[in-house]
Structure 1
Amino acid sequence: MRLFWRYFSIIFAIVYILLCVLSIYSYYLRKNASSEPVKEPQYLPPFVHKQKKWNYSRLINHKFKSNCCTVEIWGKASIGVYLWKHILNGETEKLQGGLVYYGNKTIDDILFHFRFGPGIIQSTVPSDVEFVVLVLNGRSKDKIAISKVWLDYLPLYKKLRGAIVLLLGDERCDNNWLLPYMKSRGGILNAAFMVYDSTLVDNIEFYQWPLGVAAYRKFPHVLPEQVDTTSSRSHVCNFLGTLYENSSRHVLMSVIRTWGLEEDCIVLGRMKWQPLETRETLETYIKALLNSDLTLSPVGMNTECYRIYEAMSLGSVPVVEEVVTPGHCDHNAFNSPLRLLKEYGAPVYYIKDWRGLPTLIQHDAQLTLEEKIERRISVIQWYKGFKDTMKRKFVGVVKNNFFIDGPLFT
């Protein structure tokens, strides 16, 4: 019995020693493993932005993951309505008693949400927004102040990964206040669309955008098939507008009176600009465009005006005074003013001096009805094609700045 306990004690001691050795060895292995640098898993960054020149032909060959891309469009200027309804062909519904207009549309695999109206403020838009196009007004100091409030608020949207501005710019092209907000200057904006011939436009970070029609005056979205192009029009030309003091518009009115063109042209001048239209004045204006083949467009605060686009939508050829207005708009380019329209070959008559108008009207009066019908159709189709081009440009810039280099792109 005593011998049994002796062997048992020896075996127990051996087992205990073996267990201790195994424990020490295991601890040693774990310590060595923990001393090696841990390799973090490699993920694509959530958003990488690289500046590159816009090239839509490059973009259309790429595909996105299904339902991967959502972009908010927040409209704080009526040019946003022109973008949504006239360029993107979107529809809206009235919400909250007309305080908000909302619409959504998928274009090239991107789901756009459009929000517009006085009910759109920083606290009523989606707080989880990731990508946004902000439509702002930069025409005056008070409008710029409001726009800056929006831009300064953007960093508070914690999930925001990209932002673009579409700016109704200053008519003298004084838009440098926007520069600190651009990513190239350390700001939050990936890109900006700007109205008028700004010298900032480089098609890399700044892109030119058309002024379009006066959506704030409820000018309608006219489809080509809605325009009567075949009937005779009662007048050769029209001019309905504000007679600014010391402007060439007074010269135009003088030429019309001196040459007795009142019967050829529908003329209605007013001495003070009116921001809003009544239903009656809007109908009068649209009828004037529809009942004449030439729409006279003397310079106002800027050479580019709503009248140019409104006339083309109804098949009336704009006759534009080719003068660069005072300010900081591009004076040096060979195709200024109206750089964008000239780039795409707009069907516009350019005139340096309104005293040449009688010759133009005489020439137009010699055209046959068939020639005028052909020209009307050509003008309407050009404008439709131009809007399609602007749609592709807009979507292309959005893709290029928001998604191409990010993880959503395949």
Structure 2
Amino acid sequence: MRALCTCRRLVIVLSALYLLCIVIATQKLYRLSNSNNIVAHVSRRNGPFLVEIWSKASIGDYLWGHILNGPSPTPNGPLMNSAQLTYKDINFSFKSGPGLVPASAPKNVTHLVIILNGRSEDKIEQARVWLDSMPAYEDLRTLAVILLGDEKCNNEWILPYLKKNGGSIDFVFVTYDSPLVDGESFYQWPLGVSVYRGFPNINPASLDLTYPREFTCNFLGTVYANSSRERLSKIINSSSRLQKECFMSGRDKWQPLESEQSRQLYLDTLLQSDLTLSPVGFNTECYRIYEALSLGSIPVVEDIMTPGGCDASSAASPLRLLKKMNAPMLYLKDWSQLEEVLESETLLSKEEKINRRKGAVRWYEEFKHSIKKIFVNVLRERWFDMRAD
């Protein structure tokens, strides 16, 4: 009987100790959680906030150099470049280069914007490697992606990586008229200029927009068989007037990079043309539109949807972002209307053309600033609980 009582007392003591441990642990967890909430609240209110930008696609250089106006990146380790920029209450840290891989990227990142290429299957596989590696970044709290999307808007591969679907991504900025754009998980992003081909960030103060331009219109680019570009080429070559007024330089094979000579020819031609012809490729949106506007040459664009999965349900498509922001462009449905466009040009005075050039350059600068505000405000609202400015 005495042994039984002793066992009962021992059980009671052990149970009391167990309950005491639970109470102590609960109090510690509560204090820790409350402390974290206080720290998070203070960080949201006070800033500044550190946001890493890791670029693995050419549009990353457009974001950093042309949209954010960040300084030129400098070498930082093997095959890696970096730069810093403070804008309002956010400190941006930019990294790029072939040496930037999941194994070499800093593991203590907390807020990350990663720029990925989803243009082709091989690029998508490389993007997947990055997104599959995100769980290894234990300090990562927020993740956004800027995606150079598929020209036919086939970007569904990224959906499982969204946080709402069990992944790591809070939201995505994606190029072209993707039907995924909803203002919550997806935002539309401009294609911009072809930084990867060496197109510079034009300083408007360096431009003389008052002198007469040599050409009414131009087209320089690859002429693919059975394409809109081939049709444009045939129409120009069949008209003596168009041949005289439009500078046309086509090539049969696409080249990924420009030589110094071909790049300068392109820049000079845009500067010498009142209009820049922009026939559709795989998508209506192309680098040429932004490049022409930056130099005061008005893009002449085919207002037609290209085949694929882009959003044709919107009345503003194609080019809905540019139309929403009232880009100064001329639209036509077929290149057979080009003669009429040139006829209208003869009715414009010198002063009207000069004002139009200045307006195009001014619009493009304001456009970049607007995209900058949209980008920063989305980060501030979604990540740091700060109201947009």
* TM-score normalised by structure 1 residue count: 0.84
Q: Distance in 1 between matches of 2:245 and 2:147?
A: 38
Look up the match of 1:239.
219
Which residue number in structure 2 is paired with residue 389 of structure 1? 370
Alignment partner, residue 54 of structure 2 = 74
Match of 2:90 in 1: 110
- The answer as to whether partners of 2:85 and 2:91 remain within 8 angstroms in 1 is yes
Number of aligned pairs?
362
Determine the structure 2 residue equivalent to 1:254. 234
What is the CA-CA distance between 1:339 and the residue it aligns to? 0.8
1:337 corresponds to 2:311: no
The change in CA–CA distance for 1:241 and 1:97 in structure 2 (over 3 A counts) is farther
Residue number among 350, 353, 356 corresponding to 2:331 in the alignment: 350
1:166 aligns with 2:146: yes
Answering whether residue 222 of structure 2 is matched by residue 214 of structure 1, we say: no
TM alignment of 1:138-153, pairs within 5 A: 138-153=118-133
- Please give the alpha-carbon distance, in whole angstroms, between the structure 1 residues aligned to 2:188 and 2:130: 22
State the Cα deviation string for residues 147-202 of structure 1 (Å, max 9, x = none): 00000011101111111000000000000000000011111000100000000000
Displacement of 1:255 after TM fit? 1.4
State whether structure 2 residue 180 is matched by structure 1 residue 200. yes
With over 3 angstroms needed to count, the CA separation of the structure-2 counterparts of 1:139 and 1:47, relative to structure 1, is farther
User: Is 1:121 matched with 2:121?
Assistant: no
Residues in 1 aligned to 2:376 and 2:310: alpha-carbon distance in whole angstroms: 26
C-alpha contact 1:47 1:161 (8 A) present in aligned 2: no
> TM-score, normalized by length of structure 2?
0.89
Decide whether the 8 Å contact of 2:74 with 2:83 is kept in 1. Answer: no
State which of 298, 307, 313 in structure 2 corresponds to 1:317: 298
- State percent identity of aligned pairs: 48
Aligned CA RMSD, in angstroms, stands at 2.2
Q: Does the CA contact (< 8 Å) of 1:236 and 1:365 recur in 2?
A: no
Q: Equivalents in 2 of 1:299, 1:332: separation in Å?
A: 19
Is 2:380 the counterpart of 1:404?
A: no
3-state SS of paired residue (2:244):
coil
Residue 83 of structure 1: aligned partner: 63
C-alpha change, 1:107 and 1:381, in structure 2 (3 Å) is same
How far, CA to CA, are the matches of 2:239 and 2:101 in structure 1?
A: 53
In structure 1, what is the Cα distance between the partners aligned to 2:264 and 2:194?
14
Task: Provide the residue aligned with 2:261 in structure 1.
Answer: 280
Greater RCO (Cα-Cα under 8 Å, separation 6 or more): 1
Alpha-carbon contact 2:55-2:61 (below 8 Å) kept: yes
Name the residue aligned to 2:285: 304
Letter in 2 for 1:334: A
Q: Does structure 1 residue 264 correspond to structure 2 residue 245? A: yes
1:47 is displaced (CA, Å) by 10
Point out where structure 1 has 5 or more consecutive residues left out of the alignment: 1-29, 49-61, 406-410
* Counterpart contact for 1:191–1:401, Cα < 8 Å: no
- Whole-Å Cα distance in 2 between the matches of residues 283 and 47 of structure 1? 53
**How big is each residue's C-alpha offset from its partner over 1:223-249, in whole Å with a ceiling of 9 and x where there is no partner?**
211221111111100100111221111
Structure 2 runs not aligned, ≥5 long: 1-15
Q: How does 1:33-72 map to 2 (within 5 A)?
A: 34=20, 37=23, 39=27, 40-41=30-31, 42-45=34-37, 64-67=45-48, 69-72=49-52
Which 4+ runs in 1 deviate beyond 3 A? 33-39, 43-48
